[in-house]
């Protein structure tokens, strides 16, 4: 029997992973349909005009066409929060709520552009496509482009267990989703330079919701010795 919710996406996308972690945290059942967006098929463009993944379909609304679909991970996660309010993944206090949205945006833009374009694609995706990994680009990204972002996250943690308040939230989900792609590309956080961030990343990625993604995706993206 089909689940009410259906996720269209690709393994390895940190944005798809973000949605999957929210679904897991809320114990919401869903089906997954892999979609190759290179190039995106016409039926997918109809439900995702920007040609991006993921897209969520709520089959209780419609089973085909644009109706019942939501494109982009951020509105999808917001929808899931309303659909299943517990456990809450968005802070209730106004300022904390806005801070959580900020870290989500920071992860989806700043972290995503550097890790995705600077490490995951030139290393992991290149190898999957039978191309020579661009190790120098990955090394430059890890050593020069990511440290300022790590500095910011390290200072934001300031001894706290989570990025916002005292509870696991969408901020942690978005940031850790990007850091996992860095890990798949052979990168790591230097605990001597960023002790809080290194401990935080290890702890968040060990949560059952993330651990399941790690185990599932590791089959597609086995660790490579990129010597970064």
pLDDT, tens only, 125-138? 999 889 999 999 99
Do 59 and 4 touch, CB atoms closer than 8 A?
Answer: yes
Same domain, 71 and 114: no
Domain boundary at 52, 83, 114, which?
A: 83
Is residue 101 in a domain?
Answer: yes
Separation between Cα atoms, residue 135 and residue 181, nearest integer Å: 15
Same domain, 54 and 136: no
Same domain, 76 and 101: no
Number of domains in the chain: 2
Q: Is the pLDDT of residue 105 over 70?
A: yes
Rounded (10°) angle between helices 73-83 and 94-106: 140
Q: Is the pLDDT of residue 221 over 90?
A: no
Same domain, 77 and 108: no
Separation between Cα atoms, residue 81 and residue 76, nearest integer Å: 9
Q: Is the pLDDT of residue 224 over 70?
A: no
Same domain, 15 and 101: no
- pTM value is 0.96
Residue range(s) defining the domain that contains residue 44: 5-83
Please tell me the predicted confidence (pLDDT) of residue 91: 98
Is residue 222 in a domain?
Answer: no
Mean pLDDT over each residue of the chain, to the nearest integer = 95
């Amino acid at each position: 029997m089909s689940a009410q919710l259906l996720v269209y996406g690709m393994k390895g996308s940190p944005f798809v992973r973000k949605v999957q972690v929210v679904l897991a945290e809320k114990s919401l059942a869903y089906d997954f349909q892999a979609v190759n967006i290179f190039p995106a098929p016409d039926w997918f463009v109809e439900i995702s005009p920007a040609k991006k993944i993921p897209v969520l379909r709520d089959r209780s609304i419609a089973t085909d066409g644009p109706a019942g679909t939501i494109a982009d991970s951020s509105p999808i996660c917001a929808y899931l929060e309303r659909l299943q309010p517990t456990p809450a993944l968005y802070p209730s206090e106004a300022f904390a709520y806005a801070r959580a949205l900020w870290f989500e945006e920071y992860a989806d833009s700043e972290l995503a552009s550097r890790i995705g374009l600077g490490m995951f694609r030139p290393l992991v995706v290149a190898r999957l496509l039978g191309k020579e990994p661009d190790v120098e680009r990955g090394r430059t990204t890890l050593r020069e482009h990511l440290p300022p972002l790590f500095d910011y996250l390290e200072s934001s943690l300031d001894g706290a267990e989570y990025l916002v308040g005292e509870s696991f939230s969408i901020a942690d989900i978005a940031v850790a989703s990007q850091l996992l792609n860095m890990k798949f590309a052979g990168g790591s956080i230097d605990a001597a330079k960023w002790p809080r961030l290194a401990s935080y990343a290890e702890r968040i990625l060990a949560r059952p919701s993330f651990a399941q993604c790690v185990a599932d995706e590791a089959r597609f993206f086995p660790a490579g010795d990129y010597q970064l």
